[in-house]
A and B are shown apart, each in its own frame.
Chain A
Amino acid sequence: MSQTNVKSDLDASLVNPLIKATMTVMEKMTNTQVQMKQIFAQEEYLPSGDLSGVIGILGEQGEGTVALSFPLPLANIVVARFLGTKPEHLSSEDRCDGIGELVNMVSGQAKAALSNESGCLYKLTLPTVIQGAGHQVTSQAKGAPFLVLEFESEGHIFHLQLSFKRY
């Protein structure tokens, strides 16, 4: 696993819950095996994949953004399995809705880890989905670096990125 010199406000206690959440959500809801590849932090969002599910985390002690980004072929595979259909039968709406629901579930686990760690309640915004190669995501926690978790599944790389700033 590689790591840059960027200092993240996120301590290690959040990393394992995020990895576990991603793997559990993918396995339980899409019947897809996932491998952890590497973790690194960087100053800005890493443009990744063709579509990203994005959700905000807000609380008394901090705020941040979670983005789950997939290349289109993998998005089609996981959403089709989630829905119990074939990739060619998916509509664009199904694909966006499915990715939004997956980031919602992963973020729910991250939120629970943050709340348990701090004893303070955090809330999630409703998920949004951004499409297009090279798309950008701006963190709600302005200036906070992104923690990038890189996974591999079905021969494709996908990323979970979390930017979080404590008050």
Chain B
Amino acid sequence: MRILVVDDSAIMRKVIIRELSNLNFDDDDIVEAADGNEALQIAKEKTFSLILMDWNMPNLSGIEALFEIRSAGITTPIMMVTTEAERGQIITAIQAGANNYMVKPFTPEDLKEKLLQILGTLPPPKKEQRVDMSEGKIIQE
């Protein structure tokens, strides 16, 4: 499951990616964008299972990017992850095509619950790998 994480705060992207990794998403399947413009360009070029979109960003905001992505005919599920907590803003985002909405601050449990609502399932636990030194084989457990 490939996920696009859009936030102008590098530390917020790191926090979200850490939580996704804890939920067994593969780091190689997580792509980052630092503003709406970058997100729009990447969303046009690659296919994702989900886009996590901040609202307040420079250059092109999350809500503007959401409009543009939907106008481009891209139907990838999008969840706004934002400090915008007013009911009116949530309605605006949903009407613009957001599939779900999560207000910052959030806990890891909040994120897991929202991901399950959208994706229906989460990646299975990663198999641990160890090397059998006697035979030099990689063993998955």
With the chains together, A111 CA to B56 CA distance in Å? 13
Q: Is the CB of B15 within 8 A of A28?
A: no
Q: Is the CB of B14 within 8 A of A108?
A: no
Size bracket, chain A contacts: 20 to 34
**Which residues does chain A contribute within 8 Å of B82, judged by CB atoms?**
108
* Count of inter-chain pairs, beta carbons less than 8 A: 62
Q: Bits for B16-32, please: 1 = Cβ < 8 Å to A, else 0.
A: 00100000000000000
Binds B, one of A68-76, A78-86, A131-139, A152-160: A78-86
Q: Is the CB of A121 within 8 A of B85?
A: no
**Which residues does chain A contribute within 8 Å of B85, judged by CB atoms?**
108-109, 111-112
Interface residue? B58 (CB, 8 A): yes
A25-B105, A126-B58 as given contacts; A97 in contact with B11, CB under 8 Å: yes
Size bracket, chain B contacts: 20 to 34
Nearest chain B CB to A125 CB, angstrom units? 9
**Which residues does chain B contribute within 8 Å of A124, judged by CB atoms?**
56, 83
Interface residue? B9 (CB, 8 A): yes
**Which residues does chain A contribute within 8 Å of B107, judged by CB atoms?**
28
Q: Is the CB of A105 within 8 A of B83?
A: yes
Q: Is the CB of B15 within 8 A of A115?
A: no
**Which residues does chain B contribute within 8 Å of A116, judged by CB atoms?**
86
Residue among A24, A84, A107 making CB contact with B15, cutoff 8 Å: A84
Interface residue? B1 (CB, 8 A): no
Q: Which residues of B are at the interface with A, using a C-beta cutoff of 8 A?
A: 8-12, 14-15, 18, 56-58, 82-86, 88-89, 103-107
